[in-house]
Amino acid sequence: MLPLLEFEDISKEYNRFLGSRPVVALEHFSLQVETGEIFGFLGPNGAGKTTAIHLAMGFMRSTRGHGRMLGKPFGDARARSRVGFLAENVALYHRPAEQLVRFYGALNNLKGRVLKNRAREVLEAVGLDQEARRNVARFSRGMQRVGLAQALVNDPELLILDEPTSALDPIARVKIRSLLLSIRSAGKTVFLSSHLLSEVEMVCDRVAMLNKGKLVKLGKTSELLQSGQETEIVARGITATCFPAAVETDGVVRFTVPVAQQKFALERVWELGGEVVSVNPVRRSLEQICLEVTGQQPEKSALGVGG
Amino acid sequence: MRHIALIAINFFREQRWPILVLMSWVFLLSVLGLVVDLRKASDDVLFIFKQGVGYGILFTIFFGASAIHNERKTRRILAVLSKSVGRGQYISGLITGIMFAAAIYSFAMGVTGTWVLGASGFPAEHLWLLMLCVMLVCLLCASLSVLFSTFLNPLFATMATGIVLGLPAVAALQFRSRWAEVVPAYSLIEPLMKASSGSNEPVRGPLLMLALGEAVFFWVCAFWIFERRDIAVAVD
């Protein structure tokens, strides 16, 4: 099966004024997004995430390389009719929410009753059905949700979201998260760029991390989160002083050891007359991985990971 | 066509306040028609009419020169172009929207002018022929200013449009040169500007065709350039 979204060795340079050196936003960037997955697209500010998305949407042209979206070259207007897009800091025309969603739906070839019904459905899905007649200019933070509604109005096969929940309250965030999961279960694909790593952890099947225009990490979320290097041991009947950096709570001692020392640590617990409650591989957070791949090592205590 | 119409109507809606301000000229002309003795003050009323038409053309240039910039600056262009809308359709929608505004204004000026100027003996047929010229000049201005706005900011796009349309006017006024007809905006508007209650200059048909052809040419150039522009980068 053809990938739904494909970047093939793409580079993008922004020319500066009066011939000074161009800014490299993306460098030999290749990526494939498959059908039916929620794909997380991560990286620090200026990593090139938005540039990649804008290239896919045809808002700009790559300096080198090429890509395809739904089997068509980037920028193909017909392919965009099957795509939903929400820009970071979305800006929309100031008019009632339902009218606005219908305008964008009409631009995607929907008409008549189908358009009317679909506009109502998506406003309900994003929790704005009660405010359908309210002008979006009067929404404090609802613009993002109307933006999501306009992205969903054509029932897209591929939904591209650039920071969709950054301006939302926790309740709205939960709603959007369950909406994304329901979109995936309907066989659709979501390409999600976000700084909210905890959210990405919760919903994304695969993630790619970008740093300074280069792809630095790509893989299944579950596999990336397993460190494979450390194990957390929980034991009873020993004291925390027996192991370095062990923590004792309610008679239960927790500590982390490298995988190579796991056997030795378990034998030591038994030698001390203790009982092993559990042995689990340490799960890292995407935040930690992100900091690692961008070359910024966090303080362990700040992350609350490890022993 | 539907996409073009949607973008045009949306443009008109977004520009409704400046268009309403422009319509105050029609209102002013109507008030003059009611309070002034039109037979005695016919030249004064004609002068006001000419001014109104001139402002309409200027507004067309301002609309065209700032349309793309405003949409990019507010980032609203992203949501529109993320739909099944081609760049050519977008440019065509903007020009159609500007022309929609120009047509409504010209029609309102034409109707009011027929009443007000007609009362002072100005022939209605000639007035509507002049309004057709005004519409073509607006089309020329709109397509040229949109063309420049694809790669210049509004100030420079306005200046560039002014230069391209104004140089032939200078040639015509200073040297009576045939070069004035290269971009025939001035040549088309000249019969209106020189019109008086006593005499009317004829409108030359070939100039109408030339203006239409050039407008289409600028239109095509505008979307050829816009097709190749990055629209998601900062505009300032």
- What are the domain boundaries of chain B? 2-227
In which residue are the tokens 């689990």 written? A280
Cβ partners under 8 Å of residue A244, min gap 6: A255, A307
Q: How confident is the model at residue A142 (pLDDT cuts 50, 70, 90)?
A: low
Structure-block tokens of residue A173: 């965030």
Q: Is A23 on the interface with B (CB under 8 A)?
A: no
Model pLDDT for residues A116-131, shown as the tens digit of each residue: 999 999 998 888 888 8
d(CA A83, CA A226): 33
The whole-model pTM stands at 0.83
Model pLDDT for residues A158-171, shown as the tens digit of each residue: 999 988 877 677 78
d(CA A31, CA A75): 17
Helix (H/G/I), strand (E/B), else coil: A230: strand
Q: Is A54 on the interface with B (CB under 8 A)?
A: yes
Report whether pLDDT(A256) > 90: no
Model pLDDT for residues B117-133, shown as the tens digit of each residue: 887 778 888 889 889 99
Say which of A60, A83, A93 has its CB closest to residue B232: A60
Chain B positions in Cβ-Cβ contact with residue A154 (cut-off 8 Å): 83
Q: Is B1 on the interface with A (CB under 8 A)?
A: no
Pinpoint the residues of chain A covered by CATH 3.10.20. 225-303
Q: Is A76 on the interface with B (CB under 8 A)?
A: no
Say which of B3, B79, B89 has its CB closest to residue A87: B79
Q: Hey, are the CB atoms on B233 and A60 less than 8 Å from each other?
A: yes
Q: How confident is the model at residue A306 (pLDDT cuts 50, 70, 90)?
A: very low
Say which of A60, A91, A93 has its CB closest to residue B230: A60
Report whether pLDDT(A274) > 80: yes
The CATH code for residues A225-303 is 3.10.20
Q: Is B80 on the interface with A (CB under 8 A)?
A: yes
Query: A110 to chain B, minimum CA–CA distance in Å?
Result: 11
Q: Hey, are the CB atoms on A92 and B230 less than 8 Å from each other?
A: no
Model pLDDT for residues A176-216, shown as the tens digit of each residue: 888 889 989 988 999 999 887 778 888 888 989 898 889 88
A60-74, B152-166, B222-236, range with the lowest pLDDT: B222-236
| CATH class assigned to A5-223 | alpha beta
- pLDDT for A303 equals 36
Q: Is B14 on the interface with A (CB under 8 A)?
A: yes
Model pLDDT for residues B51-62, shown as the tens digit of each residue: 899 999 999 999
Say which of A93, A104, A147 has its CB closest to residue B83: A104
Q: Hey, are the CB atoms on A80 and B84 less than 8 Å from each other?
A: yes
Do A254 and A226 meet the contact criterion of CB atoms below 8 Å apart? no
Say which of A80, A89, A91 has its CB closest to residue B82: A80
- pLDDT for A228 equals 65
Size of interface A-B (CB pairs under 8 A): 74
Cβ partners under 8 Å of residue A98, min gap 6: A119, A120, A123, A132, A133
Query: A22 to chain B, minimum CA–CA distance in Å?
Result: 14
Chain A positions in Cβ-Cβ contact with residue B85 (cut-off 8 Å): 77, 80, 107
Q: Is A164 on the interface with B (CB under 8 A)?
A: no
A123-132, A162-171, B97-106, B185-194, range with the lowest pLDDT: A162-171
Do B26 and B108 meet the contact criterion of CB atoms below 8 Å apart? yes
Report whether pLDDT(B233) > 70: no
Residue A226 C-beta-side C-alpha neighbours within 13 Å: 8
Q: Hey, are the CB atoms on B84 and A81 less than 8 Å from each other?
A: yes
Chain B positions in Cβ-Cβ contact with residue A78 (cut-off 8 Å): 84
Cβ partners under 8 Å of residue A178, min gap 6: none
Q: Hey, are the CB atoms on A58 and B230 less than 8 Å from each other?
A: no
Model pLDDT for residues A2-13, shown as the tens digit of each residue: 788 999 999 998
